[in-house]
Chain A
Amino acid sequence: MIVSSTLLAIWVFIKTVLIVSFAWIVAKILLIVLPLLFMVAYLTFLERKVIGYMQSRIGPNRIGPFGLLQPIADVIKLLTKEIIIPTPSNRYLFIIAPMISIGTAFAAWAVIPFSKTWVLANINAGVLYILAISSLGVYGVMIAGWASNSKYALFGALRAAAQSISYEIAMGFALVGVMMAAGSLNLQTIVNAQNGNIFHWYWLPLFPLFLVYWFSGVAETNRAPFDVAEGESELVAGFHVEYSGTGFALFFLAEYANMILISALMSVMFLGGWLSPFQGIPYLEGFFAWVPGIIWLLAKLSFFLFCYLWFRATFPRYRYDQIMRLGWKIFIPVTLVWIAVIAFAIQFKIAPWFSG
């Protein structure tokens, strides 16, 4: 009798601990996802404003001061629109596809280190996890294209899938270089390995990989100038032609969340993540010591996000065969060569990056 009641007490204790820890994890996830959603909303606004000014227009300026409430209005519009499911489509897959897109776009954020202590899952295989999850994103696109049962959607999906598979290889190799330099797959360790000053960050010793990862990232998210997957003039809108309302909104969210993710990864892998850019500079280091790490991460991330918009406003769209050539014949050989160079640098302990 006593034994069973103790067991029951233990069980209740375990259950509460589980529930509390579970609730704590969910709270932390919300702490990442909600600001991310906010960022996505205002990234669309920023995109329209930035491209507007680059093209001598004003951009959205009707709703709220300077048009600042425009994203809110867009969200309300998208959520209240009718969801149309085409009759000849594959109903279940048609509904699942946007969920896969958004799910993979958000899941990868679990391992991003926001500051010295702020990381949801500080796992050893962080880089591999990122690669694995982002390689799943292509399923959302392919399923959407096929389930819509529409020519344009299928063409868009095929283009998008071929493009992301091709550029994933170059991205993977670029990350191999980062892993070798840091000697770890843990993102937090990678950031710590870049400790020192701005020239210790990996953009300098891994400069070719930095460029390859950057442009592959743009191609991977199917953004201009690599946006053949949704080239308006050829395919109407690509794989999500048939989607309306919330389904379309989810694809849109996933695309922008992926853009922010790639920018965050660029900052973490090559620009020292949450490390201060004023490290190692005598006077300024102390002056900026109070700034939390996440601010630096956000600043670096914003730079890459701005470049996304800048590229879109300035470059004409690549032709499909040129995209394939760039990915397979230029980026992959460059990364392979530079991996060999890094291997030698690590073997001979070239200072200051690989002396440790």
Chain B
Amino acid sequence: MSFNFLHIIFYFFSFVAIFSAVMVIVSRNPVRGVLFLVSAFFSMAGVWMILNAEFLALILVLVYVGAVMTLFLFVVMMLNIDLVSLRKSFVRYAPLAALIVLLVVGLTVMVIGPERQGLTEMPAPAPKSIEYSNIADLGAVLYTQYAYPFEIAAVILLAAIIAAIALTHRVAVKRKSQNISEQINVKRDERVRLVKGMQK
């Protein structure tokens, strides 16, 4: 198998993804951790792009990097995280964490071991014709074969949104709130009264 330009791109994105994933855990500063997670997502999107999964790759960037991680970053920036106590608990839970990591890694290796991976076992998909649209394919399947699961997922998400709003919504009892549409719709005559000044 020849070594072509696509491989360079693939290895670049994979190395960045793995490096960033490690740095998410290792970096001391939580904001940097979030930013490394962003970089991991972004490089994974690059890898997906090579797999012709352009829709998933772009949606990953748009939804996870552009919206979800921005909110994460928002929260982490506003938190004043005590790094010392964080490291103390890190040491305390390290054995348990190591056990879980070993378990997960073991399971993953059992299911998708290295003998099933690699560029020779899983060659890049054959390049599609220029007219091929990943999005049209996905849409066709999503709205025919998987219509019900898709709709159910949408309804569950809607329920989650309503629940989240209902849980956090506070009725304004003593709070002063502004009626913006009233403010915007104000007319000049309601605010300004011209008084006849001194006339010569």
Tally A-B pairs: CB < 8 A.
Answer: 79
> Counting CB contacts under 8 A, is A158 at the interface?
yes
B178 touches A321 (CB 8 A): yes
Q: Which residue of B lies closest to A325 (CB)?
A: B180
Binary contact track A148-161/B, C-beta < 8 Å → 1, others 0? 00000010001001
The B49-85 residues at the A interface (CB cut-off 8 A) are 54-55, 58-59, 61-62, 65-67, 70-71, 73-74, 77-78
Among candidates A93, A123, A132, residue contacting B62 with C-beta atoms closer than 8 Å: A132
A161 touches B66 (CB 8 A): no
- Nearest Cβ distance between residue B179 and chain A, in whole angstroms? 10
B61 touches A136 (CB 8 A): yes
> Counting CB contacts under 8 A, is A131 at the interface?
yes
The B171-193 residues at the A interface (CB cut-off 8 A) are 178, 180, 183-184
CB contacts (< 8 Å) of B35 on chain A: these are 93, 139, 143
Q: Tell me the count of chain B residues lying within 8 A, CB to CB, of chain A.
A: 30
B66 touches A132 (CB 8 A): yes
Q: Tell me the count of chain A residues lying within 8 A, CB to CB, of chain B.
A: 29
Among candidates B38, B67, B178, residue contacting A165 with C-beta atoms closer than 8 Å: B67
Query: Which of B4, B35, B38 has the most chain A CB within a 10 Å cutoff?
Result: B35
Among candidates B4, B58, B70, B77, residue contacting A154 with C-beta atoms closer than 8 Å: B77
- Nearest Cβ distance between residue A109 and chain B, in whole angstroms? 17
B180 touches A128 (CB 8 A): no
CB contacts (< 8 Å) of B54 on chain A: these are 123-125, 128
Known A-B contacts A125-B55, A146-B77, A154-B77; A132 and B70 likewise in contact (beta carbons under 8 Å): no
- Cα of A131 to Cα of B58 in the assembled complex, Å: 9
Known A-B contacts A146-B77, A321-B178; A125 and B135 likewise in contact (beta carbons under 8 Å): yes
Secondary structure of the A contact surface, majority rule = helix
- Cα of A162 to Cα of B75 in the assembled complex, Å: 12
Known A-B contacts A18-B5, A125-B134; A135 and B62 likewise in contact (beta carbons under 8 Å): yes
> Counting CB contacts under 8 A, is B31 at the interface?
yes
Known A-B contacts A139-B70, A146-B31, A165-B71; A128 and B58 likewise in contact (beta carbons under 8 Å): yes
CB contacts (< 8 Å) of A90 on chain B: these are 29, 31
> Counting CB contacts under 8 A, is A129 at the interface?
yes
Binary contact track A109-146/B, C-beta < 8 Å → 1, others 0? 00000000000000111001101110110110011001
- Nearest Cβ distance between residue B127 and chain A, in whole angstroms? 14
A136 touches B58 (CB 8 A): no
- Nearest Cβ distance between residue B78 and chain A, in whole angstroms? 8
Known A-B contacts A93-B35, A168-B67; A142 and B77 likewise in contact (beta carbons under 8 Å): yes
- Cα of A136 to Cα of B55 in the assembled complex, Å: 17
Q: Which residue of A lies closest to B62 (CB)?
A: A132
CB contacts (< 8 Å) of A18 on chain B: these are 5
B135 touches A135 (CB 8 A): no
> Counting CB contacts under 8 A, is A185 at the interface?
yes
- Nearest Cβ distance between residue A325 and chain B, in whole angstroms? 5
A124 touches B184 (CB 8 A): no
> Counting CB contacts under 8 A, is A56 at the interface?
no
Query: Which of A132, A138, A154, A161 has the most chain B CB within a 10 Å cutoff?
Result: A132
> Counting CB contacts under 8 A, is A322 at the interface?
yes
- Pairs across A and B, CB under 8 Å, 20 listed: A14-B4, A93-B32, A124-B54, A125-B133, A128-B135, A129-B58, A131-B66, A132-B59, A135-B62, A135-B67, A138-B66, A142-B77, A146-B77, A158-B78, A161-B74, A165-B70, A168-B67, A185-B133, A321-B178, A322-B183
Going nearest first, the 6 A-B pairs with the smallest beta carbon separation are A135-B66, A132-B61, A128-B58, A132-B62, A132-B58, A125-B54
